Copies of this chain bind each other. A is one copy, B any other.
Amino acid sequence: MFERCQTARIADCADELRDAALDDDLAYAITEGLTTEIGPRLAGTEAEARARAWAIERLRALGFSNVRTEPFPLRTWMRGEEKAEITAPFPQPLVLTALGNSAATPAEGLEGEVVYFATLADLEAEPDANVAGRIVFVDHAMTRTQDGSQYGAYGAARRSGPALASRKGAAAILIRSIGTDYHRNPHTGSTVFPEGVAPIPAAALSIPDAEQLERVVERGQPVRVRLTLTPRDLGMRESGNVIAEVPGSDRNAGMVLVACHLDSWDIGTGAFDDAAGCGIVAAAAKRILDAGRPRRTIRILWAGAEEVGVFGGRAYFDAHRGERHDAAAESDFGADRVWRLRTGFTGTAEPINIRLAAALAPLGIAYAPGRATGGADVGPVIAAGTPGIDLNQDGTRYFDLHHTPDDTLDKIDATQLRQNVAAWTAMLAIVADAEEEIRSDSATN
């Protein structure tokens, strides 16, 4: 079927490669293997190291070139025990999970009065005296969107809420999980305590628990909670990126960087976030590898330590900023179908957009104007001037699963996963093999 790609240009085979990829099994096999044989792989831990070893073996067996690990040091936080209960007026347990970088409570727990805030802005506006020594509870109202656009706004409760509560003297903070589901599976994620702000215990309640606590608060009596969190700072450990390549025929052409992240949160098996992304980019690259030789080298980056602060993406950028990247893309928004294409191709590269739009339209993917923003791990490369390519996935159910125990293999829809592989395959065939000079600036980054 692809024989002519051995002699003709890969780019001319984009449609056939795309359609064949709708039968792909490799992306699922990688997702299944990584989530089953490694399972959770928190950045900096021994499990993440096993994931790198697994990745190296898998990527070498697939025939990629220059398969290697690029290690970097990482300050490592590890979850401990976590439990909570309302002690008054209606004693009962609450389900929650510590946020990454949370401080520990005493081993026997910490009890305090709950002070309720409907929004982060309400917490900010509250006089410190009403917060000091109490357990802050920040509720909010994230709802479902296809593009995940609510994450930016509502995610602030998790990212900066704990530091704000600390500055105001709070003993601890509970937030409503940044999520859209109604299961007793809380959503973890990193929080940031800037230099000079003392970390405090910080946890996310599952959404049913947040609504329960809200109802209890609404009854009007003082509400007390006992909270036990025993995470530990393990100090400096090792994380690392895994890299593999499909060699291009033109050493002077830039590279196409395709990324995902190999690490996951510890409470799920990281199927949606982001084993599937690693499966998608590797399966698409493998199809190009098998079809012939594209003009540009395709570099696969399975980044380490994304969840805990995009350390892999930054380490990659620091190590490779001197190399020419012609395009960069990341798959890190689940495994549901791609619905939108955006790129950063302008000027001499603009014709590529037309070919991409045509090749992706049969998959139900709409070309949208506006600059591609890329995923977190390729963010530094794109920020430095490399054109990005977004193959945006349907995020309607993404925040049902994101950073929860529920992020497991059974959530992967194999048909939608294949549509992703088809889209990435067509994109790589067109972009990696484009005759245009993509970067007229002859920049290297």
Cβ–Cβ contact A211 & B409, under 8 A: yes
Residue from B36, B93, B211, B406 in contact with A410 in the complex, judged by beta carbons closer than 8 Å: B211
Cβ–Cβ contact B405 & A184, under 8 A: yes
> Is the CB of A269 closer than 8 A to any CB of chain B?
yes
Given contacts A36-B215, A40-B92, A92-B269, contact A184 B409 (CB under 8 A): no
- A204-221 vs B: 1/0 string, CB under 8 Å? 000110011001100100
> Is the CB of A91 closer than 8 A to any CB of chain B?
yes
CB proximity to B under 8 Å, residues A201-249: 207-208, 211-212, 215-216, 219
Residues of B within 8 Å of A40, CB to CB, are 92-93
> Is the CB of A90 closer than 8 A to any CB of chain B?
yes
- A269-287 vs B: 1/0 string, CB under 8 Å? 1000000000000000000
A404 to B95, CA, bound (A): 13
Given contacts A91-B47, A92-B269, A269-B92, contact A408 B36 (CB under 8 A): no
- Which single residue of chain B is at the shortest CB-CB distance from A218? B36
Residues of B within 8 Å of A268, CB to CB, are 184
> Is the CB of A183 closer than 8 A to any CB of chain B?
yes
Residues of B within 8 Å of A207, CB to CB, are 410
- Which single residue of chain B is at the shortest CB-CB distance from A35? B212
> Is the CB of A182 closer than 8 A to any CB of chain B?
yes
Residues of B within 8 Å of A35, CB to CB, are 212
Given contacts A185-B184, A185-B185, A212-B269, contact A90 B39 (CB under 8 A): yes
A411 to B90, CA, bound (A): 21
- A63-107 vs B: 1/0 string, CB under 8 Å? 000000000000000000000001000111101000000000000
- Which single residue of chain B is at the shortest CB-CB distance from A54? B90
A47 to B93, CA, bound (A): 11
Residues of B within 8 Å of A90, CB to CB, are 36-39
Cβ–Cβ contact B36 & A405, under 8 A: no
- A406-435 vs B: 1/0 string, CB under 8 Å? 101111000000000000000000000000
Residues of B within 8 Å of A215, CB to CB, are 32, 36, 409
Cβ–Cβ contact B208 & A409, under 8 A: yes
Residues of B within 8 Å of A212, CB to CB, are 35-36, 39, 269, 408-409
A207 to B35, CA, bound (A): 15
CB proximity to B under 8 Å, residues A132-160: none
Residues of B within 8 Å of A411, CB to CB, are 182
A187 to B182, CA, bound (A): 17
CB proximity to B under 8 Å, residues A22-42: 32, 35-40
- Which single residue of chain B is at the shortest CB-CB distance from A83? B81
Cβ–Cβ contact B39 & A183, under 8 A: no
A11 to B178, CA, bound (A): 52
CB distance from A54 to the nearest CB of B (A): 10
CB distance from A144 to the nearest CB of B (A): 15
CB distance from A361 to the nearest CB of B (A): 33
Residues of B within 8 Å of A216, CB to CB, are 36
A190 to B343, CA, bound (A): 57
Residues of B within 8 Å of A211, CB to CB, are 409-410
A404 to B212, CA, bound (A): 16
Given contacts A32-B215, A183-B183, A185-B183, contact A208 B38 (CB under 8 A): no
CB distance from A323 to the nearest CB of B (A): 36
Residues of B within 8 Å of A183, CB to CB, are 183, 185, 406
Q: Which residues of A contact B (CB under 8 A)?
A: 32, 35-40, 47, 86, 90-93, 95, 182-185, 207-208, 211-212, 215-216, 219, 268-269, 404-406, 408-411
Name 13 interchain pairs, CB-CB below 8 A, sorted by A. Answer: A32-B215, A36-B90, A39-B91, A39-B212, A40-B93, A47-B92, A95-B405, A182-B406, A184-B404, A184-B406, A208-B410, A211-B409, A215-B409
Q: A39-B86, A183-B406, A184-B408 are in contact. List 10 more A-B contacts (CB 8 A).
A: A36-B216, A38-B92, A39-B90, A182-B410, A182-B411, A185-B185, A208-B408, A208-B409, A212-B269, A212-B408
What 10 A-B pairs come out closest when comparing CB atoms?
A39-B92, A184-B405, A208-B408, A182-B410, A36-B215, A183-B183, A37-B90, A208-B410, A184-B406, A183-B406
